[in-house]
C-alpha cells in the first residue's frame, strides 16, 4: 500500500517480469504460491527462480510467507504496479511517471506522460485499505465466491470504471476521456480543475445546483445511478464546468434499492450547497420523475442488473442501506491441473503407440475375428474326438450304433459346430489331412514353434508425413518434460537451507541440554 517507486522498473530483466507473472498466475488458485509451482510456471531457460525471488523480495515486489502448512510467495501492490506499468509501456501508452496528485480511499492518482509528450492521469486502484475493508460486503464484484484477493477486486474495479467511463464519454456525459487500462491501472485524460470540496465561492450557485440535478436525472434516464455523487467526486474548472469522476460503485435503476441510492445522491448535493454556499431550494428531482429512455446499464452490466432480469427477476446486488444479507456460499467445482495433465499424457502415449504401429505397417486384428477362430478350433477338436471314438469301435455293430446315436445327439444339440465344419470345407475344399500335414512338414523350420500365431499385415492408411509429425511432436514433449525436471532440480538450495536450519535447531537443543545438565 506504499507509494509508487518506479526507479527499479528500468533495471528489471525479462526473467524478473516472467517470475512476477508466474506469481500472478499462481495466485489465481493459491493464496500463497509454493516455489515448485512458480518454477514450473516461469520455466526459466537456465533456472534460478529462487534467486530471482530473493531479489524481488528485497525490492518489496513480492512477499515471502511461511506458515505451518505451506511456505511460498504472494504478490503485493508494488509488484502488481510494475506489471501494469510494464504492459502500458509496451503498448506505448505511457513513457514516464510523475508526481502523485491525490490519494483516495480506494485509489492513488499520478501524473504520467505519453511518448507524444501528452500528460494523462494514472489511477491505481488499491482496494483493501485498513479503514475500508467492509467493501467486500458492499460491492458485488466477487458475487458468490468465498475467498477473494484484494488484487483481483482492484482489477475488477478498474475494469468496471473503464467500461463506465467509455460508455458515458461516447454519449456526451462530462467525464474524462478514457485512454487505456491494464490490471488495476486506468489511464485517462488529465482534467484542469479542482475538486468541488475545495471550492468556497461560486458566481451563480443556483445555476450550478440545477446543473447538478439535471446530471443526476440524465444518468437515471440512461439507466444508471452514480451511487456516490458528492463533492469529492465532482470537479470544476475555471468556467464552472462540471466533470464527474469515480464510477466503480454505479448501480442500475433496476436495482431493488435504486430509489434509496437516487435520493442519497440528491440529498448529498442539497446538504453541500446549504452548508457551503448557504443555498437551499425546494426544487429537487425524485425517483418517480425518471423517464427511462436508454439502457446503458445493460451495456455496461451495472450492479443490480442481470441478463435474466426479464425471465427470472433474480438480481445479484450488494447489501442494502440498513440491512444485512447473508449470501450462500457456493463451492467452486474446479478440476485440478494434475488430473488434466494425466489425461493428456495418457492420450499422447496412446497416439504415440498408434503412430509407431502405423509406421511399421502393422495392424491389430479385430476382436470378433479372434473369437471366430477360437470357435472354429473348438469345433474341429470335437469332430476329431468323435471320429477317433467311432474308428476304435471296429466291427462291433452295437457300439457303432450307440456312437452314431451319440453323434446325432451332438449334432442336434450343437448344430453350429457342424455348420462351421461344413463352411470350412466349402472355403477350403482342397485341404485334407494329408495335404495339411505335408504343408506343415515342408514349411517346418527350426525357429518355428507350435504355439506361434501368424498376424496378417496391411499397408498404413495414414500418410508417412503425418506419422512422422506425430512422433516428432511426442518426442519434443518428452524432451521439454525432461528439461523441466532438470530445472526444478536446480532449486536444490531450498533443501540445503532447510537442512541447515534443522542442524542448527538440533545443535542449539543439544547445547542447552548439556548446559542444564
Answer yes or no: are the C-beta atoms of 56 and 83 closer than 8 Å.
no
pLDDT attached to residue 326? 39
Answer yes or no: are the C-beta atoms of 149 and 33 closer than 8 Å.
no
Question: E strands, 20-68, where?
Answer: 62-66
Kindly compute the dihedral angle of the four CA atoms of residues 155, 159, 161, 163, in this order, to the nearest 10 degrees: 180
Measure the CA–CA gap between 207 and 203, rounded to whole angstroms. Answer: 9
Q: Is residue 372 part of a domain?
A: no
HSE of 155, CA atoms in CB hemisphere, 13 A: 15
Nearest to 41 by CA among 73, 79, 84, 78: 73
Q: Is residue 324 part of a domain?
A: no
Looking at the fold, whether 3 and 48 belong to one and the same domain comes out as yes
Residue keyed to cell 444485512: 324
Report residue 20 as a C-alpha cell.
Answer: 512476477
Helix (H, G, I), strand (E, B) or coil at 124: strand
Measure the CA–CA gap between 477 and 471, rounded to whole angstroms. Answer: 10
Answer yes or no: are the C-beta atoms of 268 and 209 closer than 8 Å.
no
Answer yes or no: are the C-beta atoms of 54 and 91 closer than 8 Å.
no
Question: E strands, 194-265, where?
Answer: 194-195, 224-225, 234-236, 242-244, 251-252
Q: Is residue 474 part of a domain?
A: no
Residue 53 parent element (H or E): helix 49-58
- Domain with 100, as residue range(s), is 92-190
pLDDT attached to residue 499? 83
Angle at 22 between CA 16 and CA 28, to 5 degrees: 145
Residue keyed to cell 448557504: 278
Looking at the fold, whether 86 and 99 belong to one and the same domain comes out as no
- The domain boundary, picked from 148, 167, 190, lies at 190
Phi, psi of 236 (to 5 degrees): -125, 140
Looking at the fold, whether 296 and 207 belong to one and the same domain comes out as yes
Catalytic option among 228, 240, 327, 348 = 228
Question: Which residues have CB under 8 Å from 226's CB, separation 6+?
Answer: 216, 219, 233, 244, 247, 249, 250, 265
Nearest to 262 by CA among 243, 289, 242: 289
> The domain spanning residue 260 has which CATH number?
1.10.510.10
Measure the CA–CA gap between 86 and 80, rounded to whole angstroms. Answer: 10
Residue keyed to cell 433474480: 314
Answer yes or no: are the C-beta atoms of 356 and 471 closer than 8 Å.
yes
Measure the CA–CA gap between 467 and 177, rounded to whole angstroms. Answer: 56
Instruction: Give pLDDT tens digits for 159-170.
Output: 989 988 999 999
Looking at the fold, whether 265 and 231 belong to one and the same domain comes out as yes
Measure the CA–CA gap between 176 and 233, rounded to whole angstroms. Answer: 12
Cα-trace Rg, the chain: 40
- The domain boundary, picked from 173, 190, 207, lies at 190
Looking at the fold, whether 207 and 175 belong to one and the same domain comes out as no
Looking at the fold, whether 85 and 97 belong to one and the same domain comes out as no
Q: Is residue 444 part of a domain?
A: no
Measure the CA–CA gap between 97 and 119, rounded to whole angstroms. Answer: 10
Answer yes or no: are the C-beta atoms of 233 and 239 closer than 8 Å.
no
Looking at the fold, whether 198 and 296 belong to one and the same domain comes out as yes
Looking at the fold, whether 104 and 83 belong to one and the same domain comes out as no
Looking at the fold, whether 36 and 54 belong to one and the same domain comes out as yes
Question: Which residues have CB under 8 Å from 268's CB, separation 6+?
Answer: 229, 230, 231
Q: Is residue 20 part of a domain?
A: yes
> The domain spanning residue 34 has which CATH number?
1.10.10.10
Parts of the chain with a pLDDT under 70: 1-2, 130-148, 297, 301-460, 484-495, 515-517
Q: Is residue 364 part of a domain?
A: no
Looking at the fold, whether 262 and 208 belong to one and the same domain comes out as yes
Per-residue exposure over 210-248, b if at least 16 CB sit within 10 Å of its own CB, e if not: eebbebbbebbbbbbbbbbbbbbbbbbeeeeebbbbbbb
Answer yes or no: are the C-beta atoms of 60 and 76 closer than 8 Å.
yes
pLDDT attached to residue 369? 43
Q: Is residue 453 part of a domain?
A: no
Q: Is residue 515 part of a domain?
A: no
- The domain boundary, picked from 143, 160, 190, lies at 190
> The domain spanning residue 181 has which CATH number?
3.30.200.20
Looking at the fold, whether 153 and 217 belong to one and the same domain comes out as no
Measure the CA–CA gap between 487 and 147, rounded to whole angstroms. Answer: 32
Provide the edge-to-edge strand list for the sheet that holds 234-236.
194-195, 234-236, 242-244
pLDDT attached to residue 15? 93
Instruction: Give pLDDT tens digits for 275-298.
Output: 999 998 888 888 888 888 777 767
228 a catalytic residue: yes
Domains: count for the chain: 3
Kindly compute the dihedral angle of the four CA atoms of residues 37, 38, 39, 41, in this order, to the nearest 10 degrees: 80
Looking at the fold, whether 173 and 103 belong to one and the same domain comes out as yes
Amino acid at each position: 500500500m506504499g507509494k509508487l517507486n518506479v526507479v527499479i522498473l528500468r533495471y528489471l530483466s525479462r526473467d524478473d517480469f516472467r517470475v512476477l507473472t508466474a506469481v500472478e498466475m499462481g495466485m489465481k488458485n493459491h493464496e500463497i504460491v509454493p516455489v515448485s509451482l512458480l518454477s514450473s510456471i516461469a520455466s526459466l531457460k537456465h533456472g534460478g527462480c529462487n534467486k530471482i525471488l530473493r531479489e524481488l523480495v528485497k525490492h518489496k515486489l513480492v512477499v515471502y510467507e511461511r506458515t505451518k502448512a505451506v511456505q511460498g510467495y504472494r504478490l503485493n501492490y508494488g509488484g502488481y504496479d510494475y506489471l501494469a506499468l510494464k504492459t502500458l509501456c509496451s503498448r506505448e501508452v505511457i513513457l514516464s511517471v510523475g508526481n502523485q496528485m491525490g490519494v483516495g480511499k480506494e485509489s492513488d492518482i499520478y501524473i504520467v506522460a505519453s511518448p507524444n509528450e501528452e500528460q494523462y492521469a494514472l489511477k491505481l486502484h488499491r482496494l483493501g485499505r485498513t479503514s475500508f475493508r467492509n467493501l467486500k460486503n458492499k460491492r458485488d464484484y466477487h458475487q458468490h465466491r468465498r475467498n477473494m484477493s484484494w488484487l483481483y477486486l482492484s482489477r475488477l474495479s478498474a475494469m468496471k470504471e473503464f467500461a463506465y467511463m467509455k460508455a458515458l464519454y461516447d454519449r456526451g456525459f462530462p467525464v474524462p476521456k478514457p485512454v487505456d487500462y491494464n490490471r488495476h491501472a486506468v489511464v485517462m485524460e488529465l482534467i484542469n480543475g479542482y475538486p468541488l470540496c475545495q471550492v468556497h465561492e461560486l458566481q451563480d450557485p443556483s445555476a450550478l445546483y440545477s446543473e447538478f440535478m439535471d446530471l443526476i436525472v440524465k444518468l437515471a434516464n440512461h439507466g444508471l445511478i452514480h451511487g456516490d455523487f458528492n463533492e469529492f467526486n465532482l470537479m470544476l474548472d475555471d468556467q464552472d464546468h462540471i466533470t464527474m469522476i469515480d464510477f466503480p460503485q454505479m448501480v442500475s435503476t433496476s436495482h431493488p434499492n435504486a430509489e434509496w441510492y437516487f435520493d442519497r445522491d440528491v440529498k448529498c448535493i442539497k446538504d453541500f450547497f446549504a452548508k457551503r454556499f448557504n443555498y437551499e431550494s425546494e426544487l429537487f428531482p425524485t425517483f418517480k420523475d425518471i423517464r427511462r429512455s436508454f439502457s446503458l446499464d445493460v451495456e455496461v452490466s451495472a450492479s443490480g442488473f442481470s441478463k435474466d432480469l426479464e425471465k427470472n427477476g433474480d438480481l445479484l446486488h450488494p447489501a442494502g442501506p440498513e440491512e444485512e444479507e447473508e449470501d450462500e456460499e457456493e463451492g467452486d467445482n474446479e478440476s485440478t491441473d494434475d488430473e488434466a495433465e494425466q489425461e493428456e499424457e495418457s492420450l499422447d502415449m496412446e497416439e504415440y503407440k498408434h503412430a509407431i504401429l502405423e509406421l511399421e505397417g502393422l495392424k491389430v486384428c479385430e476382436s470378433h475375428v479372434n473369437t471366430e477362430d477360437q470357435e472354429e478350433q473348438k469345433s474341429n477338436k470335437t469332430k476329431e474326438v468323435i471320429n477317433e471314438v467311432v474308428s476304435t469301435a471296429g466291427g462291433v455293430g452295437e457300439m457303432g450304433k450307440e456312437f452314431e446315436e451319440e453323434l446325432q445327439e451332438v449334432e442336434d444339440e450343437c448344430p453350429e459346430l457342424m455348420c462351421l465344419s461344413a463352411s470350412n470345407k466349402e472355403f477350403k475344399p482342397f485341404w485334407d489331412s494329408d495335404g495339411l500335414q505335408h504343408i506343415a512338414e515342408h514349411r517346418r523350420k527350426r525357429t518355428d514353434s507350435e504355439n506361434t500365431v501368424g498376424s496378417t499385415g496391411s499397408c498404413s492408411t495414414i500418410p508417412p508425413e503425418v506419422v512422422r509429425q506425430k512422433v516428432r511432436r511426442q518426442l519434443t514433449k518428452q524432451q521439454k518434460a525432461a528439461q523441466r525436471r532438470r530445472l526444478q532440480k536446480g532449486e536444490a538450495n531450498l533443501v540445503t537451507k532447510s537442512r541447515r536450519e534443522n542442524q542448527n535447531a538440533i545443535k542449539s537443543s543439544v547445547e542447552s541440554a548439556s548446559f542444564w545438565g
